[in-house]
Structure 1
């Protein structure tokens, strides 16, 4: 059989809001989401018997797909990557406007 997992990115679905104030980095940046994917891949690899470890297939929908692209480990750690309905390009002005709004209105 197969093992399947679903993951909610922080601040989405049933996940927590990142309220770590010890860092200057905005916790909802693309780089931050990519780092979260890296931590997940690390935990998967470390918690598995390395003799029978099978690389996962990563499927990312929308922001999840973009997060996989920003992951440093995904390319080498995954058997395959499936990207579904990701934006082919994003206007930096729009991203900056949304990020600014999120920083000022995020729940504390």
Structure 2
């Protein structure tokens, strides 16, 4: 089991996010952010972050992602690089390579790609 300090991304509430890309928004391009960000809509391009990213259950992301911690409840197509943890819930799927210190795949989640575990 992993430490609770690395899983508190699961405990983030909607109020914890400065920005939420809602489900009626389709974005194409590069997103950069430094505070927690939630995607409920559709993103195509590149996501670069120094903070947390949550891909909500109805979200579709076709992008390479770089963030501190990534929680995937929806669909991600692209490579994911996380400094701390990538957590894919039972409703989530990732098609692409994952590089992270920790990876959590809940029962029922889908992952197609290679995983590289890196030291802190």
TM-score category, normalised to shorter length: 0.3 to 0.5
Question: Where is the helix percentage greater, Structure 1 or Structure 2?
Answer: 1
Question: Where is the strand percentage greater, Structure 1 or Structure 2?
Answer: 2
**TM-score of the two chains, using structure 1 as the length reference:** 0.34
Higher gyration radius (CA): 1
- Relative contact order (alpha carbons < 8 A, sep ≥ 6): 1 or 2 greater? 1
**TM-score of the two chains, using structure 2 as the length reference:** 0.31
